[in-house]
Amino acid sequence: MTATYVLDGARIRTLEDFWRVIGEAVNGPDGYFGRNLDAFADCLSGGFGTPDDDDFVVEWRDHQVSRAYLGYPETARQLEIRLSRCHPSNRPGVSADLAAAREKRGTTAFDWLIEIFEDRAPGALRLQ
């Protein structure tokens, strides 16, 4: 039987909101399912609450609301955080991504999440 996890897109206004909402959907109140992009990718492919046989679906309801909130302003905010924490050798790349986000170019935080779903759990995401 396929497990279905429901995300309420109206509750997702920041990337931190996404971590909380998906953690609760998969593992209950205060549940963990990654709190950064790498951890989220690992959770999707490692059975951290999801069935080990990859027999699960994530229904992201009101995803258009999330898409709007996880657009360029949130992307720039996330890249500013990343820039403040990254290794000096990574700063030029992060700075370039930040400049692009500020100019409303490139991928957004929403796109990052979709790419991880497609890479780690192909077919598991249903945007509604």
Q: Do 36 and 27 touch, CB atoms closer than 8 A?
A: no
* Residue 100 and residue 80 share a domain: yes
Residues 18 and 77 in one domain: no
- Considering the domain architecture, whether residues 88 and 115 belong to the same structural domain is answered as no
Mean pLDDT, range 6-31, rounded to an integer: 96
Each residue of 43-96: pLDDT tens digit?
Answer: 988 768 777 767 899 999 999 999 999 999 999 999 999 999 999 999 999 999
Q: Both 30 and 76 in a single domain?
A: no
Could you tell me if 13 and 46 lie in one domain?
Answer: yes
pLDDT of residue 53: 63
Residue of 119, 123, 1, 128 lying closest to 57 (CA atoms): 123
- Residue 86 is classified by DSSP as S
- Identify whether residues 15 and 58 lie together within a single domain: yes
Domain that holds residue 67: 1-71+109-128
How many domains in the chain?
Answer: 2
pLDDT in tens, 89-117: 999 999 999 999 999 999 999 999 999 99
To the nearest whole percent, how much of the chain has pLDDT over 70? Answer: 98
Distant-in-sequence, close-in-space partners of 111: CB < 8 Å, separation ≥ 6: none
Claim to verify: residue 63 and residue 87 sit in the same structural domain: no
Task: Name all contacts of 36-41 with Cβ < 8 Å and 24+ positions apart.
Answer: 37/112, 37/113, 37/116, 40/113, 40/116, 41/116, 41/119, 41/120
Tell me: do 113 and 103 sit in the same domain.
Answer: no
pLDDT of residue 84: 98
CA distance 100 to 122: 28
